[in-house]
Structure 1
Amino acid sequence: MSRKTTVHKNKERRELIIERTVAISPQLAWEGWTKPEHISHWWGPKYWTSTIYEMDVRPGGIWCYSIKPNNGDGEEAYCKAIYQEVIEPMRIVYIDSFTDKNWSIVENSEMYTIVTIDEVREGSKLTIITRFSNVEDLNNAEKMGMVKGFTDAFDRLEEYLILKSGGKS
């Protein structure tokens, strides 16, 4: 099950691209990405907990969530995503932002995010493309933990959905 996650930076487009092939069907991957009862089990880095406060997966819909380390070492991060495009079961586009506890967006924290789910022989190829407003933010993404967080999240998604489906993808 353990598969390699690939990471690319495109400085011209200010994009961080993270890809992974997982041993689950595109439909199951879609459900994992779009249903709060599933995403709360895997979203975020290993040993972090995510709480979903709202998730309305449709253009104009909102996803409000927080993530925090299980050991209490660090602050809880509050985030709000606004869906731009939703094409089941292959593409989700949203603008993800950090917020305060009242869901007010932190200025200049917006990240344009594209999630694609492509069927491949081994299951599904998942791609997350995060576009930053400037190259400095792109370069800081790794320091901020985004690469490790997305890599861990892909591990957790695959493990959770395989377990949830009883080993049938």
Structure 2
Amino acid sequence: MTVKMEDNELVITRVFNAPRELMFKVWSEVEHLKHWWGPKGFNWGFAELDFRPGGFFHYSMQSPDGYLMWAKFIYHEIEALEKIVWDNCFSDEEGNIVRPDFSDQFPLKIRNVLTLAENDGKTTITLRGGPIHATEEERSFFAGMFESMKEGFGNTFDQLDEYLAKV
């Protein structure tokens, strides 16, 4: 996995031992997402997915020490097997966008662009994500979280690798 910060965006590239069709499914179906998305050790609670441009993915997770987290994706563009564009946000139980408990400087929305490319039965994903409609303070805070995000996505994608081996 390669991870870098480029133009105030986190850019992650990783190769998975799975065909692109399966990789698209694990990003677009709640039955799959619940098995790998999110911080390691968190348990899934609520999950509702409306996978279409203008749709959303609203979910909750709970940490081992009991912290309950709500979040939401808002989908903008979907090209089957090729690309998914969404905003990632923290939310409340009703799906309203809120700031996370850990910072009042974390951007309200992170625009993510996921692309998938298959070669010899393996899929390379590239995930680019960065704040939109953010203040300079919010963009700076986001950039300062690089190491934390690198570790978090590394763990999340390790969980995806483990899940892909089972499906």
Specify the TM-score bucket, using the shorter chain as the normaliser. 0.7 to 0.9
Q: What is the SS of the residue equivalent to 1:44?
A: coil
Uncovered stretches (5+) of structure 2, i.e. residues with no partner: 100-106
Q: CA deviation at 1:126?
A: 1.3
Asked if 1:62 corresponds to 2:70, the answer is no
The one-letter amino acid paired with 1:162 is: A
Q: SS of 1:97's equivalent?
A: strand
Over 3 Å counting, the alpha-carbon distance change for 1:117 and 1:50 in structure 2 is farther
Pairwise CA distance, 1:124: 0.5
Contact map agreement 1:26 1:118 (CA 8 A) in 2: yes
* CA apart distance, 1:136: 0.8
Cα deviations by residue, 1:45-76 (Å, 9 ceiling, x for unpaired): 2222234521111100111012332x226x22
2:33 to 8, 32, 39: 39
SS at match of 2:141: helix
Aligned partners of 2:93, 2:144: CA distance in 1, in Å?
24
Distance in 2 separating the partners of 1:30 and 1:88:
7
Task: Give the corresponding residue for 1:128.
Answer: 127
1:163 is paired with a residue whose SS is coil
2:129 corresponds to which letter in structure 1? Answer: T
In the aligned structure 2, how far is the partner of 1:121 from the partner of 1:137? Answer: 39
Unaligned 5+ residue runs, structure 1?
A: 165-169
Matched, 1:8 2:12: no
The runs of at least 4 aligned residues of structure 1 exceeding 6 Å deviation read: none
Shift of the alpha carbon at 1:43? 0.3
What is the SS of the residue equivalent to 1:103?
coil
- The answer (yes or no) to whether the contact 1:40–1:51 under 8 Å persists in 2 is no
Compute the displacement of 1:121 (Å): 3.2
Query: Per the alignment, do residues 118 and 139 of structure 1 end up closer, same or farther by CA in structure 2, a change over 3 Å counting?
Result: same
TM-score (norm 1): 0.83
1:140 and 2:144 equivalent? yes
Deviates more, 1:133-142 or 1:103-112: 133-142
How many matched pairs? Answer: 155
Q: Could you say what the CA RMSD is over the residues aligned between the two structures, in angstroms?
A: 1.8
Alignment of 1:17 onto 2:11: yes
More deviation in 33-42 or 59-68? 59-68
Partners in 2 of 1:28 and 1:122 — Cα distance? 10
